[in-house]
Amino acid sequence: MNETKKLRTILEEIKNVFVGKDEVIDLLGIGLLARENVFLLGPPGTAKSAIVKQLSSHVIGGINFDYLLTRFTEPNEIFGPLDIRLLKEGELVTNTDGMLPEASLVFLDEIFNANSAILNSLLMALNEKIFRRGKETKKIPALMFISASNLLPDDEALAALLDRFLIRLKVDNVKPDRLEEVLLAGWKLERNEQQEQTLISPDEVKVLQTKVKEVDLSPIRSSYIELIHSLRNTGIEVSDRRAVKMQNLVAASAMLCDRQEAILSDLWVLKYIWSTEEQIETLQATVNALIEKEETNERSHPQAFFNKAPNPEELMSEVTNLKTKFSNQEISLQELNVIKDKLRYLQNRTDWIKDQQKKQYINTEIDQLWKQILHKV
């Protein structure tokens, strides 16, 4: 299994554990692939930290560091204590074993509780992947930083922390009609009834992060520039630095779809660069207006048209086509995997059908096909 497929498999396994959290999980995958930081905004109990810990459990061979910040948190708790033995000899050296400067994945919960004592070191770690204390300077191997908070900061000094997270996502409770699925999946998690996990090493992730830079962005360059101008005209600040970095997100979307070139729908990731909650709807409307010029197709990332109301008749037609293909007695394992991938995509799209009767009918047809597939496997 190549590295890209392995990462996609990991994301699917996490989605099976956390029902209704596909958006969060897909964006964590984008951030990991692009080596860009992710910020999660939402109330307690929305599985923010649990999803991050689940992702960390799939990354082996490296150190995972997570910490709940309070206003009393000291730098030693994050970066490690000073080496007392060397301090007696007049050397200022930090013992970073098992701490943030050694970690592959870093999760900082309630990050805006960071106090001035750790703020500057944290800003440098997030932005430059460097830890500095006195004359001591160390490169940080972190594949990605993830943070979470219940509220956005008012303090300008703390707002600088938010600026270090390119992806920003608001996380809410799942929809009421999916509560039963949440309860069943959560109960399995409580009882440790988990399937065998696909694992990936930090070195494999680094290989993917390097390959992201090889994605051809020329097919969407003019559209990307148009979108940046549109966002700036609506009052959403997009600095030249951020505009450059956001290209990594677009490339990561293409790569997760097994493409070496970006297409228009890959710009969906730019819905998540807001600075205030008021900007969320504006971003969605502006980005959707552009990417909807491209017809929905199998080459698009599943999240690209996730909140675009689908046509029930078209979805039902696609489900029927999949049932016809599956009924072929000589279907190969590769063809079966393609059918399963398409069925997951259709299942996600069905959630956005407004007509409840049509939605229920299509879901029933999808469930029946899943049962047939599982029975055959």
- pLDDT for res 307: 57
Mention every residue, 6+ apart, whose C-beta is less than 8 A from residue 193. none
pTM for the predicted model, two decimal places: 0.79
Distance CA 246, CA 267 (A): 9
Query: Mean pLDDT for each 10-residue chunk of the chain (377 residues)?
Result: 90 90 95 97 90 92 91 93 69 85 95 91 92 86 96 88 95 78 78 81 96 97 96 91 96 95 95 92 87 75 71 85 82 80 75 76 90 78
- pLDDT for res 353: 74
- pLDDT for res 191: 79
Report which of 46, 44, 16, 12 is spatially closest to residue 28, judged by C-alpha positions: 12
SS3 82: strand
Rg of the chain over all Cα atoms, to the nearest angstrom: 22
Q: What angle do CA 63, 66, 72 make, to 5 degrees?
A: 135
- pLDDT for res 354: 63
Total count of residues recorded for the chain? 377
Number of DSSP helices (H) and strands (E) in the chain, helices first: 15, 7
Give me the long-range contacts of 15-18 (CB less than 8 A, separation at least 24).
Answer: 16/185, 16/195, 17/54, 17/185, 17/188, 17/189, 17/194, 18/47, 18/50, 18/51, 18/54, 18/185
| Strand residues in the chain grouped as ranges (E) | 38-41, 64-68, 105-109, 130-133, 136-139, 144-149, 167-170
DSSP string, 91-122: ---B--TTSGGG-SEEEEETGGG--HHHHHHH
Q: Which helix (H) or strand (E) holds 156?
A: helix 156-163
SS3 138: strand
- pLDDT for res 19: 86
Domain map of the chain by residue range? 3-190, 213-291, 312-376
Distance CA 73, CA 67 (A): 10
β-strands 38-41, 167-170 pairing: parallel
Orientation angle between helical segments 3-17 and 240-256, nearest 10 degrees = 90
- pLDDT for res 261: 96
DSSP 304: T
Q: What angle do CA 13, 14, 15 make, to 5 degrees?
A: 90
- pLDDT for res 296: 61
Q: Give the CA distances from residue 239 to residues 156, 262, 274, in Å, rounded to whole numbers and listed in that order.
A: 17, 22, 13
Q: Is the domain covering 3-190 a CATH 3.40.50.150 domain?
A: no
- pLDDT for res 304: 85
Report which of 205, 134, 177 is spatially closest to residue 363, judged by C-alpha positions: 177
Report which of 210, 207, 244 is spatially closest to residue 225, judged by C-alpha positions: 244
β-strands 136-139, 130-133 pairing: antiparallel
